[in-house]
Amino acid sequence: QKEVEQDPGPLSVPEGAIVSLNCTYSNSAFQYFMWYRQYSRKGPELLMYTYSSGNKEDGRFTAQVDKSSKYISLFIRDSQPSDSATYLCAMSDYKLSFGAGTTVTVRA
């Protein structure tokens, strides 16, 4: 079993829809939780970073962490075509472990 499991997708949504992305994990030692966005043929870039259970908002993005259920989510409100990318969840104790990524396409 992988340490980090991510919903594989792909997801295709119309512009303006809410995008919901999810990951589960098995390692209770993970303390830091991140979401990276990766455009085609580019390096991943950090989107959201949190180290506690609960919600964290940044503009149209909300990251949710539930440590008791070992579950994290990313919500994108009012999605735009520019949000079309692959989204990777990542978690860390001293080493970063990534999910396999979910490719999202936002249709204009």
Partner 1 sequence: EAQVTQNPRYLITVTGKKLTVTCSQNMNHEYMSWYRQDPGLGLRQIYYSMNVEVTDKGDVPEGYKVSRKEKRNFPLILESPSPNQTSLYFCASGQVGEKLFFGSGTQLSVL
The answer to whether 49 contacts partner 1 (rule: CB under 8 A) is: yes
Considering beta carbons, is residue 11 or 88 the nearer one to partner 1? Answer: 88
The reply to whether 42 sits near partner 1 by the rule CB under 8 A is yes
Q: Which of 83, 98, 104, 106 binds partner 1 (CB under 8 A)?
A: 98
Say if CB 13 and CB 32 are below 8 A apart. Answer: no
- At residue 81, the 3 state secondary structure works out as helix
Query: Per CB under 8 A, does 46 bind partner 1?
Result: yes
* By the rule CB under 8 A, 41 interacts with partner 1: yes
Rg, the chain, Cα only: 13
Helix (H, G, I), strand (E, B) or coil at 34: strand
